[in-house]
Amino acid sequence: EVQLVGSGGGLVQPGGSLRLSCAVSGFTFSSYPMNWVRQAPGKGLEWVSAISSSGGSTYYADSVKGRFTISRDNSKKMLYLQMNSLRAEDTAVYYCAKRRDAVATMGALDIWGQGTMVTVSS
Amino acid sequence: SYELTQPPSVSVSPGQTARITCSADALPKQYAYWYQQKPGQAPVLMIYKDSERPSGIPERFSGSSSGTTVTLTISGVQAEDEADYYCQSADSSGTSFGTGTKVTVL
């Protein structure tokens, strides 16, 4: 069974840091680009970041560029999102998601994790 | 990234047809994708490449494209189709999601 399990969320103070993890199983992780998407409480979906299958190319939304870093460990089948200089507006459920196609980093996301909640508040 | 505009809400009676539009200037050059999200759950891919349906998605869900607008059509709406629906499009450097449409089954 294809599965993405996110973890690492929690309560953090403004200006703080947090690292999210996404454990993958059920498919050849190293072949597929991966994405992070977030959803603030009661709001819509917002794309955060993407990484190529090899990890050699990374992409970020303007709202997180310079503060967040996406990475992956293909040997461990793990995806990460390092979040620094957190702000109240970063409060959201963060989803890891698998690209449907192995060809391009951007496009349809066919498998999503259950989401992990990040709350930035003093 | 760019803005993808959807109507905030669509209401439909069971058995009728619901149509959800998504528009943006960049759509003619990029494919569009559609997701269904129910409360407390992760999104589910319903349509990819404008009109392709992943395995396991009911045939009553279909997608189409015309000019700068893409449309998700739900034919013969069922109570279980009540959810939020989001379009998505992407280019080589990023992805954008639509503003979301809440479908209410009356």
Per-residue pLDDT at A104: 85
Band (pLDDT 50/70/90 cuts) for residue A105 is confident
Question: Are residues B86 and A45 in contact, defined by beta-carbon separation less than 8 angstroms?
Answer: yes
Average pLDDT over residues A24-35: 97
Per-residue pLDDT at A8: 97
As to burial, measured by CB atoms within 10 angstroms (0-12 exposed, 13-18 middle, 19+ buried), residue B56 is exposed
Per-residue pLDDT at B1: 65
**What number of C-beta contacts closer than 8 Å exist between A and B?**
67
Band (pLDDT 50/70/90 cuts) for residue B28 is low
Band (pLDDT 50/70/90 cuts) for residue B39 is very high
A49 interaction partners in chain B (CB closer than 8 Å): none
Average pLDDT over residues A30-44: 97
CA distance B21 to B6: 6
Which A residues in the span 49-108 are in contact with B, Cβ-Cβ below 8 Å?
A: 50, 59, 61-62, 95, 100, 104, 106-108
How much is the mean pLDDT over chain A?
Answer: 97
Q: DSSP letter at B4? A: B
Question: Are residues A14 and A120 in contact, defined by beta-carbon separation less than 8 angstroms?
Answer: yes
CA atoms within 13 A on the CB side of B80: 4
Mark yes or no for CB contact A45/B94 under 8 Å: no
Give how far the C-alpha of residue B30 lies from the chain's centroid of Cα atoms, to the nearest Å. 15
Average pLDDT over residues B22-48: 91
For residue A14, give Cα distances in angstroms to A68, A97, A98, B105, B106.
14, 26, 29, 41, 43
Per-residue pLDDT at B85: 98
Structure confidence by residue, pLDDT tens digits, B40-99: 999 999 999 999 999 999 999 999 999 889 999 999 999 999 999 999 998 888 899 999
Interface test with A, best of B95, B96, B97 (most A CBs within 10 A): B95
Mark yes or no for CB contact B43/A112 under 8 Å: yes
Band (pLDDT 50/70/90 cuts) for residue B24 is confident
Average pLDDT over residues B4-24: 96
Q: How far apart are the first and last CA of chain A?
A: 40
Residue corresponding to tokens 């508040």: A121
Per-residue pLDDT at B26: 66
- Per-residue DSSP letters for B18-36? EEEEEE-TTGGGS-EEEEE
